[in-house]
Amino acid sequence: MTGAALPAPRITAKQRPGDRIFSSAAVLAGSLILVTLAAVTIFLIAQGIPGILAEPGETTILRDRDFWSYVGPLAFGTLWAAALALVMATPLSVGIALFISHFAPRRLAQVLGYVIDLLAAVPSVVFGLWGGLVLAPLVRPMYAWLTENAGWIPIFNGQASATGRTILTAAIVLAVMILPIMTAINREVFLQTPRLHEEAALALGSTRWEMIRMAVLPFGRAGMVSAAMLGLGRALGETMAVAMVLSPSTVVSFFVLGSTNPNTIAANIALSFPEAYGAGVNVLIATGLVLFVVTFVVNALARYVVNRRREFSGAN
Amino acid sequence: MAVTTATPNALTNGRLPRLAPWAILLGSWAVVAVVMGLFTLAGTVGEFSLVGTIFFGTILYGVAIYVVSLSVEGRRQAVDRLVTALVLTAFIIALLPLVSLLTTVVANGTARFDLDFFTMSQRNVVGAGGGALHAIVGTLLMTGVATLISVPIGLMTAVYLVEYGRGALARAITFLVDVMTGIPSIVAGLFAYAMFALIFGPGVRMGFAGAVALSVLMIPVVVRACEELLKLVPNELREASYALGVPKWLTITKVVLPTSIAGITTGVMLAISRVIGETAPLLLVAGFTQSMNYDPFDGRMQSLPVFVFTSYANQGTDGAAYIERAWAGALTLIVIVMVLNLAARLIARIFAPKLGR
């Protein structure tokens, strides 16, 4: 009765010109992101290579060093300031996030979240102004006290600065600046803890701290790590706060209270660029390239950690 | 005769009374205040410091509440009370810089918050006087151009990611947008400089270059915000539109985008408030100047954050006047950013589509 059944004719949708134009525009816009990032890398490398290969004595910026001994102390300063800021900000952000998510009354929690987010809205130049003009004089007596009484600790061993504009002050300002973003991520993570786990812990008679320790913190470990890494990435790239607070010099030192402080890459670029010329500009661009690579790696790692545990961590 | 004994209340047995922590807190502050007062009278300490009193009093409270709770309630409850105290202290510590910053900026900024500040530039002004009009105009121009560049690109990228993207390109774009949010602002400035130096030669300073640097910083924020909002639009709306035979591009432009327009506006305003305070890239590529400049393609253009920075870092003869202008500029910046933030949240609250019944 039936021979081979004919295959049904394929139905293709009519391609409207409007659809074509719109979807091409969307793809174009998306590709522009790729192009921009590629352009950033290419331009930085193209203009930075002459700086990396510059001979000592060729530019006023390098004086008689080669590029790597110029960027070395700067990289140390960047990492040291960011590490100090992270050490101060991490426990604080975990504490604040715990307070907002588990300790504060429900109605108050949203308002408190907004208040912490207010810190994120303040521009960095205003933080720099506050740090240089208000915080530095405020902490100066504390530094004097620390060098006198706690001088046996290596980072406090030396002659205290007379202006209070040291790398520790800059690290405090950095810590205040990275606090809101870390707190926001931690807060999200702690709020995503499964209610059943929390209630099970409480039902077994644990105190609130024990419940947090057993149910909330282990669940949020990946989120806390990624928050710390994002804060680190932000602190590494921060320019104005450090430029306005620090009194810089080229030195690699772990003494945090003195008047000779290592400068950071970003602050060095901001301060030296307006007067730079010729190959000096290439040197500065090359230091910017170094900074770009470091923050790229830190941010990529942070996002990878979050995405790997996305189903479990709840941080998005 | 019955001997009445108070039956022990099982709920409050072995627990501290409700107001005990407050009493212990006030008590430790009082004790430290008394000790501080005695030291001041004896001359060991220079002057009575309120901050020091509260600081040491809070430390004493931590120790006291732990010890008292340990003796009455047991170790687990004592640790719980100690952690509560620590967490509350962490929150207060985070509030202190914010309060200090806002009060200082408001107190110092109002000194020069006068008509001169908003109507004059720094042209030919040495020492006191002058204003920030050139900075305000420059900021508005550069941020406006940056918005014009970023919003179309960011919105279309978000549309691509939500409506069209299904493969490797979409994954790559998502990853790179994440990376772009982490670009230090100064690197964006260096990129803009490098690009314009290639075209115009070294030493180029241009308002438009500043706008390009700002848009590099703005695009990822816009993409993230719009992507979240477009995902929130219920699929039923799209499916109803397709079922009526509406082509995909008309569905997006007439159904999806108008539904999320309030949220998109909010996201764009938040992105603007983020980049309006960026100093480093503008310092590099837009430079700084004392005069008005209305042309983004012609020479240096001052902007408000760079104005604050140069008033602070390059003080002239009358240092105090420069610092006053810096504070006034900082206050203006904070007011602009706060107004944008509040307006954005209000728009989101009032105009958001009411999903569900």
B49-95 residue pLDDT tens: 787 888 888 889 999 999 999 888 889 999 999 999 999 998 888 88
**Residue A220 domain-assigned (yes or no):** yes
Q: Is residue B15 part of a domain?
A: no
The verdict on residue A6 lying in a domain is no
CB atoms within 10 A of CB A149: 9
pLDDT, one tens digit per residue, over A107-117 is 888 888 888 87
The pTM (predicted TM-score) of the whole model is: 0.87
How far apart (Å, rounded) are the C-alpha atoms in residues B74 and B95? 32
The partner residue sitting opposite B330, judged by closest CB among A26, A126, A295, is A126
What is the pLDDT of chain A when averaged over all its residues? 86
Average the pLDDT over B110-126 and give the result.
82
Question: Token digits for B327?
Answer: 């504070």
Is pLDDT above 50 for B158? yes
Please count the structural domains in chain A.
1
> B110, B138, B168: which is the final residue of a domain?
B110
**pLDDT of A314 strictly over 50:** no
Q: Of B77, B110, B143, which marks where a domain is finished?
A: B110
Q: Is there a domain that residue A44 lies in?
A: no
> What's the half-sphere exposure (Cβ side, CA atoms, 13 Å) at A109?
16
**A299–B273 CB contact, under 8 Å:** no
Please list every residue in chain B whose beta carbon sits closer than 8 Å to the beta carbon of residue A243: 309, 313
| Residue B1 within a domain | no
Asked if residue B135 lies in contact with residue B147, where contact means CB atoms within 8 angstroms, the answer is: no
Contact assignment for B79 to A207 by CB distance below 8 Å: yes
Domain boundary among B51, B84, B110: B110
CB–CB contact A95 B219 (8 Å): no
Confidence at residue A315, expressed as pLDDT on a 0 to 100 scale: 42
> What local confidence, expressed as pLDDT, does residue A109 receive?
87
Say which CATH number the domain at B184 has.
1.10.3720.10
Compare CB distances from A295 to B173, B184, B327 and report the shortest one's residue: B184
Q: Do the domain assignments include residue A123? A: yes
The answer as to whether A218 is a domain residue is yes
> What residues make up the domain containing B49?
20-110
Q: Are residues B74 and B92 in the same domain?
A: yes
Segments forming the whole domain that contains residue A169: 68-313
| Residue B4: per-residue pLDDT | 57
Q: In terms of domains, do B157 and B247 share one?
A: yes
Closest CA to A245 of A173, A143, A138, A146: A173
Residue B67 lies in a domain: yes
DSSP state of B5: -
E strands, chain A, where?
248-249, 261-262
Answer whether residue A31 is part of any domain: no
Q: Do residues B278 and B211 both lie within one domain?
A: yes
Instruction: Tell me the helices (H) and strands (E) count for chain B, helix number first.
Output: 15, 0
Contacts of B325 in chain A (CB under 8 A): none
Q: Average model confidence (pLDDT) for chain B?
A: 87
* Segment B265-292, tens digit of pLDDT: 888 998 998 899 889 999 999 988 888 8
If asked whether residues B53 and B134 sit together in one domain, one would say: no
Can you give the length of chain B in residues?
Answer: 357
Same domain, B151 and B104: no
Within a domain: residue B10? Answer: no
Cα separation of A161 and A267, whole Å?
20
Domain assignment present for residue A191? The answer is yes
Residue A88: CATH number of its domain = 1.10.3720.10
Percent of chain B with pLDDT over 90: 34
Helix-strand-coil percent breakdown of chain A, rounded to 5?
75, 0, 25
- Cα dihedral A289, A294, A300, A303, rounded to 10, equals -130
Residue B86 confidence (pLDDT) = 92
Residue A82 scores a pLDDT above 70: yes
As for how many domains chain B has, the answer is 2
Q: Which of residues 223-282 of A touch B (CB under 8 A)?
A: 230, 233-234, 236-240, 243-244, 266, 269-270, 273-274, 277-278, 281
Tokens of B281: 């890239």
Cα separations in angstroms, B239 against A20, B235, B248, B251, B252 = 20, 6, 10, 9, 11
Q: What amino acid occupies position B85?
A: A
Q: Are B78 and B171 in the same domain?
A: no
Q: Is the same domain home to B132 and B105? A: no
Same domain, B136 and B233: yes
Same domain, B308 and B253: yes
- Contact assignment for A240 to B280 by CB distance below 8 Å: yes
pLDDT band at A155 (very low <50, low <70, confident <90, very high): confident
Residue B357, pLDDT > 50, answer: no
A116 touches chain B (CB under 8 A): yes
**B223 and B253 share one domain:** yes
Q: Is residue B104 domain-shared with residue B243, that is, in the same domain?
A: no
Predicted confidence band at B159 (pLDDT cuts at 50, 70, 90)?
very high
Q: What tokens does B136 get?
A: 């305000």
Structural domain contains residue A136: yes
DSSP state letter for A159: P
Chain A's closest residue to B219, CA to CA, is A33
B276 in the same domain as B135: yes
Residues B279/B306, Cβ–Cβ less than 8 Å: yes
